Amino acid sequence: MDYSFIIRRAEPTQADALAVQSVMRDSFEKYKQHAGVPNTPGALSETLEDILDDIKNSYVYLAVVDGEPVGSIRINIETPEYAYIKRFGVREGYQSIGIGKSFMNLVDKLLRSKGVKYAGLHTASKYTALVRFYYGCGFYVKSTEDTRGYLRAYLVKDYQ
């Protein structure tokens, strides 16, 4: 099937917060299954108020196909040199059509325009396809930790 999609910045509205929440919950349920992780408490217990706060105070983007939200990503510029990418997900059935890569290209342009020197993110180290995706986008594993009950990799991308 041929899909056309748009990526737009989320607006601080109930509708966009619900769209981000829906995408996130769907994609993080699949993440748990593919990664073999017991739980992703932060992602799955997030409130609409939490999401609205992110929309207002960071960079939140939605991917939309035929009016349906199918992907989202959040970028927090935490210092002038460092950004953290979180809650990145694309609904199953819409993966491998360029949405994730388009999100990452957008992140690259945004962070370079802001003078950010490097970005980081966490992902389950056992989710091989996702780790490969991030490597293909220029990230590398800086460290691992298991404080959440599963082995998470901290990946970093340099923009210097």
Structural domains of the chain sorted by starting position, each given as residue range(s) with its CATH number in brackets: 6-119 (3.40.630.30)
What pLDDT is stored for residue 144 in this prediction? 96
Q: What span, in angstroms and rounded, lies between the C-alpha atoms of 136 and 140? A: 9
Q: Which two tokens stand for residue 43?
A: 């992602």
- For CA atoms 47, 56, 31, 152, the dihedral sign is negative
Return mean pLDDT, the chain.
93
What pLDDT is stored for residue 37 in this prediction? 78
List, for residues 99-139, the tens digit of each pLDDT value: 999 999 999 999 999 999 999 999 999 999 999 999 999 99
Task: Please report which confidence band the pLDDT of residue 149 belongs to, taking 50, 70 and 90 as the band edges.
Answer: confident
What pLDDT is stored for residue 1 in this prediction? 61
Minimal CA–CA distance to 51: which of 70, 37, 36, 72?
A: 72
Average pLDDT over residues 34-60: 86
Q: Assess whether pLDDT exceeds 70 at residue 158.
A: yes
Minimal CA–CA distance to 121: which of 106, 105, 101, 135?
A: 135
Count the Cβ atoms, other than its own, within 10 Å of residue 142.
Answer: 11
Minimal CA–CA distance to 119: which of 150, 89, 90, 78?
A: 78
Average pLDDT over residues 16-31: 92
What pLDDT is stored for residue 40 in this prediction? 65
Provide the terminal-to-terminal Cα distance of the chain, rounded to the nearest Å.
39
Question: Taking a C-beta distance cutoff of 8 angstroms, is the pair 68, 61 a contact?
Answer: no
What pLDDT is stored for residue 72 in this prediction? 98
